[in-house]
Amino acid sequence: MSDEEFYLCATGSIEYGEFYEIDNAYCKYGYHFGPEWNIVGGIEEGLTQMSKCSNDARRLTSWNFPLDATFKSTTPHGWPQLVLSVYGLDFFGHDVVRGYGVCHIPFSSGRQESKIPIYVPESSSTLHHFAAWITGKRPELIEPSILASGSGRELTRMKVQGSITASFNVVLKDFHKLGYDNNDKGKKSCK
């Protein structure tokens, strides 16, 4: 272990989704992080079970799917982000994309919840929209991590499809030793 490294441990879960036009869905997840970061433990990507939306007004899709990853880095630049891809069945039973979302793993230690907006790509023209409706093939991102990087993101047309709530339990080790401050000094620590 180098004195120039710090560690970020994030556990938690993809709790549930609230969707406007979806009856059932599953979620694929992965992490996007900068070149100075390495994943040293846990699971880097995963796939939840298919879940049916509730019949009440909230239209909740419950997953309670565990997250567990430990990262190490020498710099906060490129802080890890959770990238979500939501899929479900359409009217014809085809597996189609239902949206994408991204959020940073929280910067401070402790338990936090994040409400992650889920966006679905829109067709670039009315003709493409009609063709997508007829064929059941909606626009998809080839690489969903583009949403986390920023470059090329301005070229995508998206609309909000709902949101996903994720909980995080974050632990940082040796972060302050490298001179970084994330305003955690007021919190009690276990020694």
Average pLDDT over residues 68-75: 96
Whether 125 maps to a domain, the answer reads yes
Using one digit for the tens of pLDDT, what is the confidence trace for 16-48? Answer: 999 887 888 999 999 999 999 999 999 999 999
Given a cut of 90, whether residue 139 has pLDDT beyond it is: no
Report the SS3 class of residue 96.
strand
Average pLDDT over residues 99-105: 95
CATH number at residue 153: 2.60.40.150
Given a cut of 50, whether residue 190 has pLDDT beyond it is: no
Mean pLDDT of the chain, nearest integer: 86
Given a cut of 90, whether residue 70 has pLDDT beyond it is: yes
Whether 187 maps to a domain, the answer reads no
Whether 127 maps to a domain, the answer reads yes
Whether 183 maps to a domain, the answer reads no
Whether 185 maps to a domain, the answer reads no
Q: CA quadruple 166, 19, 49, 153: dihedral positive or negative?
A: negative
pLDDT class for 102, splitting at 50, 70, 90? very high
Residues 6+ apart with CB under 8 A from 88: 22, 23, 24, 25, 26, 50, 95, 96, 98
Average pLDDT over residues 100-129: 90
The answer to which of 63-72, 76-85, 131-140 has the lowest mean pLDDT is 131-140
Average pLDDT over residues 110-137: 83
Whether 186 maps to a domain, the answer reads no
Whether 138 maps to a domain, the answer reads yes
SS3 per-residue string spanning 110-162: EEEEEEEEEEEECCCCHHHHHHHHHHCCCCCCCCCCHHHHCCCHHHCCEEEEE
pLDDT at 184: 66
pTM given for the model: 0.86
Beta partners for 104?
81
Residue-range definition of the domain harbouring residue 146: 6-178
Whether 184 maps to a domain, the answer reads no
Between 3 and 148, the higher pLDDT residue: 148
Domains in the chain, number:
1
Tokens for 139, please give them.
């626009």
